Amino acid sequence: MAQDPLTLYKLIVLYMLDRVNFPLTKAQVFDYILGKEYTTFMPLQQAISELIDADMVRAKSIRNRTHLEITDEGRETLGFFENRISTQIKEDIDAYFRENRFELKNEVSVISNYYKSTSGEYEANLIIKEKKINLINLTLSVPTEELAASICEKWEGASQDVYNSIIEKLF
């Protein structure tokens, strides 16, 4: 039985999101699927958009990243049709997550955003998440947008040191 390629791309996305206990960024999904040359950009974009429209995937924009997470409906659909994904593709995805889980998780568990506050200052909101729990949620008020943007850019690289320092000082 022939399978619609778009359906296969949707199932691959659902399979990927089901294999992790944290959201993946849209960029992470695209990097993997396009890197494996399963499809090209436009069909993959269409597949993800249709999954979001069908409430099988939840998308949340945080700063300049879109985080994707499978919904219960998506998980149920995957359960019905997972057998349509080849064993080789599933093994490739599983191996990729075994090798890259820490890096992928770190990319989505360290979040930063900034905004202009009602006082006219800028606030840089810095978060480290573990599963769905905020380990740290720090907001710094600064006088300029440039400074807030700089803090957010540096947060990913410095977050673990900042967290460890706070824990060390307080415990």
**CATH number, residue 94:** 1.10.10.10
Kindly state whether residues 140 and 102 are assigned to the same domain. Answer: no
* Mean pLDDT computed over every residue of the chain: 90
Kindly state whether residues 164 and 118 are assigned to the same domain. Answer: yes
Neighbours of 52 (CB within 10 A): 16
pLDDT score at 103: 79
Burial 22-49 (b: 16+ CB within 10 A, else e): bbbbbebbbebbeeeebbeeeebeebbe
Kindly state whether residues 96 and 123 are assigned to the same domain. Answer: no
Per-residue pLDDT tens digits for 73-102: 999 999 999 999 999 999 999 999 998 877
Domain that holds residue 127: 109-170
Kindly state whether residues 122 and 87 are assigned to the same domain. Answer: no
**How far is 117 from 38, CA to CA, in rounded Å?**
44
Mean pLDDT, to the nearest integer, of 63-78? Answer: 90
Kindly state whether residues 102 and 114 are assigned to the same domain. Answer: no
Is the pTM above the cut of 0.85? no
pLDDT score at 146: 95
User: What are the angstrom distances between the C-alpha of 37 and each of 2, 34, 89, 99, 167?
Assistant: 20, 5, 12, 19, 44
Report percent pLDDT > 90 for the chain. Answer: 63
Number of domains the chain is built from:
2
Kindly state whether residues 39 and 78 are assigned to the same domain. Answer: yes
Burial 150-160 (b: 16+ CB within 10 A, else e): ebbeebeeebe
Kindly state whether residues 115 and 97 are assigned to the same domain. Answer: no
Kindly state whether residues 13 and 35 are assigned to the same domain. Answer: yes
> Of 83, 108, 133, which closes a domain?
108
pLDDT band (50, 70, 90) for residue 112:
confident
Whether residue 110 is predicted with pLDDT greater than 90 in this model: the reply is no
| Residues 28 and 104: beta-carbon distance below 8 Å | yes
pLDDT score at 63: 62
CATH for 142: 3.30.160
Kindly state whether residues 62 and 118 are assigned to the same domain. Answer: no
The mean-pLDDT minimum among 20-29, 76-85, 124-133, 145-154 falls in 124-133
Kindly state whether residues 23 and 46 are assigned to the same domain. Answer: yes
